[in-house]
Chain A
Amino acid sequence: MCSVSDDLDCLSLTSSGSGTDKSLFHATCKKCRSEPAKVVVQLKEAFCKNCLLLYVNHRFRACLGKSKLIKPKEKILVAVSGSLASATLVDLIHCGLQDTTPKRLMFSPIIVFIDDGAALGLSNEQRLKIFQEMRIMLKNCGLSTFYVPLESVINFEHNDLKEIQSETTLSINECSVSKVRKIFEDLKSVTSKEDLLIKLRNNLLIQSALTLNCSKILTAETGTDLAVKLMSNIVIGRGAHLPLDVGFCDTRCTSVLLLRPLQDVSKKAVAFYVLMKGLKTVFIPAFSSIERKNCSLQKLTENFLVGLHCEFPSTMSTIFRTGEKLSLNPLSPNFGTSSCELCQGPLDIYATESSAYLATQISSAVSKYGKAAINSDGIHVMNHSSERAKNRILSSSCKNEANGTFFNPVCYGCQLILAESNNQIHLLQNSLRKHHNQILRDKMKEEIADFLIE
């Protein structure tokens, strides 16, 4: 059957064509109508330098203000990676704190830089060079700046957080570095490596926030990043967590919320902000830089969407707006009760009808065990209605015969990571479990908060 038939309203998606819009040549700024335009921001809107800077700042402030989540004097951790977007975030905050700024920001930001070198396989020299560049980049921001290496996630301790400006060299825990290296080298696909790295970074951010007494974390993810992340997460089976991973506020950990105040700004606007203000950035290669063009599902998705966006300029904003309309699935049997031990997200593996997870279980059983997996009615053992309880949680399919079940329970997306790991990932188990329990305790505390006498 022709499957084209389901596109009823595709007509709005006409290509913008390959010719440039001549109306943009030597255009004047659309906003102030006086200065010559310097950059086209979205859908043919051309801004001059000052208007662009104001635009980015306005989007940032409006986003934070609208949420009403930030309170005066609140300690807030600002996650910085050296990228264009994080340079912008730091500058916006720095400017926002100045006495001369109208409606100045009243919170207390603390900058934290996570060094991923161990996971990326960088040498100690390379890591030191990056550290020194970060030091220079953050020198004049006037804020407390901390450094924490990713390998601290193995066994996080408070003194793993070091003040950047007072350190001249890096004290590297070779044992932890080698463990992290083993964990990442053990994973077969770059897709899983990238996915795990994000989970571990977030984990570390939360631990750092708790140590520094910060109740919120700000990340520099732009609207473009989030649109790409939305699609990538769908592709790697993390659709259930979209409101947390891509929405404005990640509420996994009740005592530390993660916010994304640059969500209304595009990557291009941020790039021009950096350029026009002459901000310093530090480029840190990711897994995908080192390999070919499309080496992970996330990179493939990014290239696809960025390419599509060139021809259809409303692509990124449409995807992002779709994401804004999503909420966590309240019908999931584990809603509000259990969470994944690796990523702390709500569990999305349960045996109801019409579940893709059930279908994958059946497929692998049928392929591996043949007729032994099926009863006389042709039904797979797990499918039998008499054995299925409504709120049953199916444990992760990562069962290593020699070592028993490692993480139990985990969500669908994390289960895909574990399935690729031979063994090494159990090096993370203790610290992740500890972190998981800490978060559970937080949730419990929140529930009984009204009844606790301080």
Chain B
Amino acid sequence: MASCTSSIPSGEREVSECSSATGGAGKELKVNIEFMGGAEMMFDNQKKLNVTLPPAECKWTIRSLLAYMKVHCAKGGGLERFFTGDSVTPGILCVINDQDWELLDTLNYELEPNDNIIFISTLHGG
């Protein structure tokens, strides 16, 4: 299995590489996700989601979290409305522990245990 290089790998590859690490040094990572402004519609109307990310060799980032969510959490029409490329669709804000993700390097932010992540849709009709 290829090891994660020091450069940030692209989301999906990171998910498969990191999460398939066997006998990994990492632990499970719990994060609390919330949806507002209609974003919940793309996740089966769930306003809150407690996600436990599997252990991985490299650190989970927002980018890899999104890739994980795309595969495991999104239901019914969520995919094309919430995700665009390896990020969220423009118009969907991301707040990490009460801070605008733009202050935290957006997709590259490395997740910590029990981080609170809120996605707010500012688009009409979610």
A392 to chain B, nearest CB (A): 38
For the complex, what is the distance from the CA of A164 to the CA of B123, rounded to whole Å? 27
Chain A residues, Cβ within 8 Å of B104: 25
Whether A25 contacts B124 by the Cβ 8 Å rule is no
A59 to chain B, nearest CB (A): 17
A83 to chain B, nearest CB (A): 8
Tell me how many residues of B have a C-beta within 8 Å of chain A.
29
For the complex, what is the distance from the CA of A84 to the CA of B121, rounded to whole Å? 10
Whether A303 contacts B41 by the Cβ 8 Å rule is no
CB 8 Å contact bits of B7-51 with A (1 = contact, 0 = none) = 000000000000000000000000000001110110000000000
Tell me, yes or no, whether B103 is within 8 Å of chain A by CB.
yes
Whether A306 contacts B91 by the Cβ 8 Å rule is yes
Whether B98 contacts A293 by the Cβ 8 Å rule is no
Chain B residues, Cβ within 8 Å of A292: 77, 80
A278 to chain B, nearest CB (A): 11
For the complex, what is the distance from the CA of A271 to the CA of B104, rounded to whole Å? 18
Whether B120 contacts A275 by the Cβ 8 Å rule is yes
Q: Among the interface residues A275, A288, A292, which one has the most CB atoms of the partner chain B within 10 A?
A: A275
Interface stretch (choices A1-9, A257-265, A279-287, A397-405): A279-287
CB 8 Å contact bits of A243-278 with B (1 = contact, 0 = none) = 000000000000000000000000110011011100
Those of A284-315 within 8 Å (CB) of chain B: 285-289, 292-293, 298-299, 302-303, 306-307, 309-310
Tell me how many residues of A have a C-beta within 8 Å of chain B.
39
Tell me, yes or no, whether A325 is within 8 Å of chain B by CB.
no
Q: Which residue of B lies closest to A47 (CB)?
A: B100
For the complex, what is the distance from the CA of A281 to the CA of B47, rounded to whole Å? 12
Tell me, yes or no, whether B113 is within 8 Å of chain A by CB.
no
Chain A residues, Cβ within 8 Å of B126: 283, 285-286, 289
Q: Which residue of A lies closest to B77 (CB)?
A: A292
Those of B60-113 within 8 Å (CB) of chain A: 77, 80-81, 89-91, 93, 95, 98-100, 102-106, 108
Q: Which of B102, B103, B122 contacts A224 (CB 8 A)?
A: B122
Q: Which residue of A lies closest to B45 (CB)?
A: A283
Whether A310 contacts B90 by the Cβ 8 Å rule is yes
Chain A residues, Cβ within 8 Å of B77: 292
Whether B90 contacts A289 by the Cβ 8 Å rule is no
Tell me, yes or no, whether A38 is within 8 Å of chain B by CB.
yes
Q: Which of A272, A289, A302 contacts B38 (CB 8 A)?
A: A289
Whether B124 contacts A272 by the Cβ 8 Å rule is no
Whether B125 contacts A289 by the Cβ 8 Å rule is yes
Q: Which of B40, B90, B98, B102 contacts A24 (CB 8 A)?
A: B102
Whether B103 contacts A271 by the Cβ 8 Å rule is no
For the complex, what is the distance from the CA of A349 to the CA of B20, rounded to whole Å? 65
Whether A26 contacts B103 by the Cβ 8 Å rule is yes
For the complex, what is the distance from the CA of A281 to the CA of B121, rounded to whole Å? 12
CB 8 Å contact bits of A22-45 with B (1 = contact, 0 = none) = 001111000000000111100000
Q: Which of A25, A40, A225, A271 contacts B37 (CB 8 A)?
A: A271
Q: Which of B41, B80, B105, B120 contacts A25 (CB 8 A)?
A: B105
Tell me, yes or no, whether A100 is within 8 Å of chain B by CB.
no
Whether B118 contacts A288 by the Cβ 8 Å rule is no
Q: Which residue of A lies closest to B100 (CB)?
A: A39
Chain B residues, Cβ within 8 Å of A26: 103
For the complex, what is the distance from the CA of A414 to the CA of B108, rounded to whole Å? 47
Chain A residues, Cβ within 8 Å of B41: 283, 285, 289
Tell me, yes or no, whether A20 is within 8 Å of chain B by CB.
yes
Whether A20 contacts B125 by the Cβ 8 Å rule is no
Q: Besides A38-B103, A84-B36, A303-B91, 17 other CB < 8 A contacts?
A: A20-B108, A37-B103, A38-B99, A39-B100, A271-B36, A271-B37, A272-B93, A272-B100, A281-B36, A283-B37, A283-B126, A285-B41, A285-B126, A286-B125, A292-B77, A299-B124, A302-B124
- List A residues at the B interface (Cβ < 8 Å): 20, 24-27, 37-40, 46, 49, 83-84, 224-225, 267-268, 271-272, 274-276, 281, 283, 285-289, 292-293, 298-299, 302-303, 306-307, 309-310
Give the top 6 A-B pairs by smallest Cβ distance, nearest first: A286-B125, A289-B125, A306-B91, A39-B100, A267-B122, A306-B90
List 23 A-B pairs, Cβ < 8 Å.
Answer: A25-B105, A38-B99, A38-B103, A39-B99, A39-B103, A40-B100, A46-B103, A267-B122, A268-B93, A268-B122, A272-B100, A275-B118, A276-B98, A283-B37, A283-B41, A285-B38, A285-B41, A287-B125, A289-B125, A292-B77, A302-B91, A303-B91, A303-B123
- List B residues at the A interface (Cβ < 8 Å): 36-38, 40-41, 77, 80-81, 89-91, 93, 95, 98-100, 102-106, 108, 118, 120, 122-126
